[in-house]
Amino acid sequence: MSENQVSSTATTQPTAKRLADYLPPDYLVPELALSFRLQPEATRVTAVSKITRNGEHSRPLVLDGEQQTIQQVLVNGNDVAFEQAEGKLVINNVPSEFELTVVTAISPAANSSLEGLYMSDGAYCTQCEAEGFRRITFFPDRPDVLTCYQVRIEAPKEFPFLLSNGNKVEEGSLADGWHYACWQDPFPKPCYLFALVAGDFDLLEDSFTTKTQRDVKLQVFVDKGNLNKAHHAMASLKKAMAWDESRFDLEYDLDIYMIVAVDFFNMGAMENKGLNVFNTKYVLADEQTATDDDFHGIESVIGHEYFHNWTGNRVTCRDWFQLSLKEGLTVFRDQEFSSDVGSRAVNRIHAIKVMKNHQFAEDAGPMSHPIRPEEVIEMNNFYTVTVYDKGAEVIRMMHTLLGEQGFQAGMKLYFERHDGQAVTCDDFVQAMQDASGKDLTQFRRWYSQAGTPELTVSDSFDAAKGIYRLDVKQLTPQRANEAAKLPVHIPFSVELLDTEGNSLVNQLLEVTEAEQSFEFSVAGVPVPSLLQDFSAPVKLHYQYSTAQLLVLMGFASSEVARWEASVSLFSQAVWQNVVRLQQHQPMSLDSSVIDAFRAVLLHESQDHALSAEMLKFPTANSLIEQLDSVDLDALFSARDFVMDTIADGCEDELLARYRDLTSQDNPASRSFKNAILLLLARSADGNEALIQAQFDSAVGMTDSLAALSAAVAGDASCRDELLQQFGTQWQDTPLVMDKWFMLQASVSDDDVINRLTALQQHPAFSFNNPNRVRSLLGAFASVNLPQFHRADGSGYQFLTDVIKKLNSLNPQVAARIMTPLIQFGKFDAQRQALIKGCLQQLIDLPELSRDVYEKASKALAV
Ligand code: B3K
Ligand code: ZN
């Protein structure tokens, strides 16, 4: 018996894996029997696999494995020689079919990275995607090895629930107060979908009858005492199951569906077959502790993970470069779910904001990659807004081009061809093409070209012929060391309105050339609504006049286009004032802009949720994305000025509408009311009494948090007192404390860094918990831009110190909160130099994780 500790710390500089190097697996594992004897410091894992050689060759068996102590390796029951190096176990001269037994010991209690088997608040749980299974046992840890699992879990009876994928087939008692359970998953799956949970929970149970009349047991497991907060998650699950049947004709395939909510989780949730593990943030909700946005987020993430059962689990990815195959498609599906059961326009606006505020920045930064990346150092760094959200936009474009019927025919063919397989993005597009007859050859470039295509549009009107013409140019910016980008296939949705706001033309154009023109017969010069509903993930350049935007904001057929016009109106006002500041002129705002926002307040019939979106002015992040280089100080001042001036100019209407909305008890009206409150806090008066009154009388978290946010945003004199009151009231409710930490992080005071440093000692804060870290520290860098970008560099240094600490504790979270530090290309030379200095400190760390290394080194190489 040999005992060898395998370490995951690379001795050499991390190297990239490349899509071009893909080779099929040398060995397949059709069956695996896994057995766990759970102990915090030394869990014994016995893995008995049936292994078959894939094709004719004599290459050794190479398995992935990290952070385990090997106790036994047997081939067909006999001891065997093996080598171990760099996270691999190698056995030479294996037969073409054999049984491999590997016994290892792991330490869940010492696992702070939250990958593999770890402990969350006393419960055992797992996270295997992308490459965490190799921390549980030695295995070919790649998604194209599909295996039938049998799992046996042994634990003390203090852990009453012993869960794994599939169906429970046996359970019973053992000696010394222990017990066991055995699970069998009939569907072959890649190891990233394996899950195990052992703990004591409250359990909410329900059932769902599928369209073929099969009864599925539904279970939601939550921490003790939280049962009353699990009902919305359960209702959302049932809604999602019904929706997938009606819209996609997809039915659930096991007899049981389990969701376990844990407090320590690196991301939102995980779609393990039959046993989803969720961050509590996306399960627990009641009116007192969760906002309307939280309720919406839960419904959407519960849906997302459920939809993965077909798009991800039944058909999975051949390799991790194909991640968008399952993620882009599943985000598209969850967006459609939210849109079908809620407001389509508002959901579309949220998706557009993610693209414009975050994805465009990623595309323009050092981590820019196509939705199907070609080179990866640490896979966890590629669960990005590009793969997920741009990936969903690419699926949406196919939906737009093919129509619902053509798209569904494509989905049907995709499942007919590939159910039970691990496939590529190309396989998906091919199914869409074959089912619809639409040539998607050029469209495939969306998968291989990084960067945001830019559409520059100019127009002209020939009064004599009554012809309006749009000249469209497309260009995807080429970066250093990149091949020239070819034109992509862009669905370009256009509406033309007359100046009274009547719709003249509403059409889907297809832009495929570098330069293309489109002509329309119309009587007079129309107002064009271009790229309606963000019909493609591109940047649009068209010089809208204020008059045109006012027509669109009031009359475009698409509610999303009306919102887009409001965003452009606001943005133009900001940029005009940035120029004034740079020219040392006083700032000013045209009264027509104030009038346009006043009209939103006075509008009687517009959906309140849409009005709210129009009043939630563009963030500084989204403004930064509109230009190639930005004077940050001028931007912050100009944005504040425009917001304050609108608030002052509309104060009477704001107050009147606010009062009117207080009696309306629904999420859309609350959203409108609270967007107004935020503006009232900015007006010269400050409206502190109103803020205080809402805070005191709020019946739910939406209104209470909105009042507190208004106090923080308006720097109200009651701010710290309200923060204190709220913090005391909710000190024992971690998810509410996250909201509180986030507001603390957005305080505009010059000494906010001291505040955040002190809060790291708060009893509710812990560096080990990703939700806390993201709320207090991640939020500072992504939301409090004026303080993060302080000219003295102290904001950058603060974040750098946090990343240094997390680098060893939880590299995945460290790399994730690092994003604001690597997107510096648009800033002034001084700030860039300060940031680069910080990144160099990270590069110089003695035990740098691959996660942080990949991002820091790419940023410094630009
Ligand atoms: N598939 C998981 C994400 C796993 C992230 C690994 N770093 C959740 C989801 O997208 O549904
Ligand atoms: Zn997903």
- The domains found in the chain, sorted by start residue, are 23-200 (2.60.40.1730), 318-448 (1.10.390.10), 454-536 (2.60.40.1840)
What's the CA gap between 304 and 333, in Å, rounded? 7
The region that residue 801 occupies, defined by phi over 0 for left and psi between -120 and 50 for alpha, beta otherwise, is alpha
Q: Mutate which of 193, 266, 267 to test ligand 1's pocket (most atoms within 8 Å of Cβ)? A: 267
State the pLDDT at residue 13. Answer: 84
Ligand 1 atom 1, closest CA: 270
Ligand 1 centre to CA of 354 (Å) is 17
Ligand nearest to the CA of 268: 1
Position in ligand 1 atom list of the atom nearest CA 812: 7
Q: Are 560 and 348 in contact (CB under 8 A)?
A: yes
- Tell me the one-letter amino acid at 468: Y
For ligand 1, whether the C-beta of 267 sits within 6 Å is yes
| DSSP notation for 813-831 | HHHHTTHHHH--TTS-HHH
State the pLDDT at residue 673. Answer: 98
Ligand 2 centre to CA of 776 (Å) is 25
For ligand 1, whether the C-beta of 270 sits within 6 Å is yes
Ligand 2 centre to CA of 477 (Å) is 29
What does the block give as tokens for 682? Answer: 């900015």
State the pLDDT at residue 862. Answer: 83
| DSSP notation for 289-311 | T--HHHHHHHHHHHHHHHHTTTB
What's the CA gap between 133 and 455, in Å, rounded? 44
Q: Which residues in the chain land under pLDDT 70?
A: 1-12
Ligand 1 centre to CA of 82 (Å) is 33
Say what the alpha-carbon torsion angle 271, 277, 282, 286 is, to the nearest 10 degrees. 130
Ligand 1 centre to CA of 41 (Å) is 27
Ligand 1 centre to CA of 269 (Å) is 7
For ligand 1, whether the C-beta of 383 sits within 6 Å is yes
Q: Quick: pLDDT tens for 10-19.
A: 446 899 999 9
Selection from 694, 691, 695, 693 nearest residue 717 by Cα: 691
Q: What is the CA radius of gyration of the chain?
A: 28
What's the CA gap between 632 and 636, in Å, rounded? 6
For ligand 1, whether the C-beta of 701 sits within 6 Å is no
For ligand 1, whether the C-beta of 327 sits within 6 Å is yes
Tokens 């994780």: give the residue: 849
State the pLDDT at residue 270. Answer: 99
What mean pLDDT is reported for the chain?
A: 97
State the pLDDT at residue 12. Answer: 65
Q: Is the dihedral of CA 826, 828, 834, 836 positive or negative?
A: positive
Active-site residues, by number, are 305
- Tell me the one-letter amino acid at 320: W
For ligand 1, whether the C-beta of 271 sits within 6 Å is yes
Ligand 2 centre to CA of 193 (Å) is 12
Tell me whether residue 695 is exposed, middle or buried, using C-beta atoms within 10 angstroms of its C-beta: 0 to 12, 13 to 18, 19 or more.
buried
For ligand 1, whether the C-beta of 380 sits within 6 Å is yes
Ligand 2 centre to CA of 381 (Å) is 15
Ligand 1 atom 10, closest CA: 327
Ligand nearest to the CA of 311: 2
What's the CA gap between 325 and 322, in Å, rounded? 5
- Tell me the one-letter amino acid at 454: E
For ligand 1, whether the C-beta of 738 sits within 6 Å is no
For ligand 1, whether the C-beta of 737 sits within 6 Å is no
Pairing of strands 178-189, 147-156: antiparallel
Q: Mutate which of 271, 272, 854 to test ligand 1's pocket (most atoms within 8 Å of Cβ)? A: 271
Whole-model pTM over 0.95:
yes
What's the CA gap between 861 and 365, in Å, rounded? 11
Q: Mutate which of 189, 193, 194, 270 to test ligand 1's pocket (most atoms within 8 Å of Cβ)? A: 270
Selection from 720, 741, 671, 679 nearest residue 700 by Cα: 671
E strand spans, 196-328 = 196-199, 202-209, 215-222, 256-262, 269-270, 275-279, 316-317
| DSSP notation for 545-614 | -HHHHHHHHHH-SSHHHHHHHHHHHHHHHHHHHHHHHHTT------HHHHHHHHHHHH-SSS-HHHHHHH
Element (H, E) at 644: helix 632-649
Position in ligand 1 atom list of the atom nearest CA 271: 11
For ligand 1, whether the C-beta of 129 sits within 6 Å is yes
Ligand 1 atom 5, closest CA: 129
Q: Are 197 and 126 in contact (CB under 8 A)?
A: yes
What's the CA gap between 640 and 617, in Å, rounded? 10
Phi, psi of 520 (to 5 degrees): -135, 140
Ligand 1 atom 9, closest CA: 270
Distances (CA, A) of 332 to 388, 555, 622: 9, 28, 22
Sheet order of strands, 539-541 included: 515-521, 467-475, 454-462, 539-541
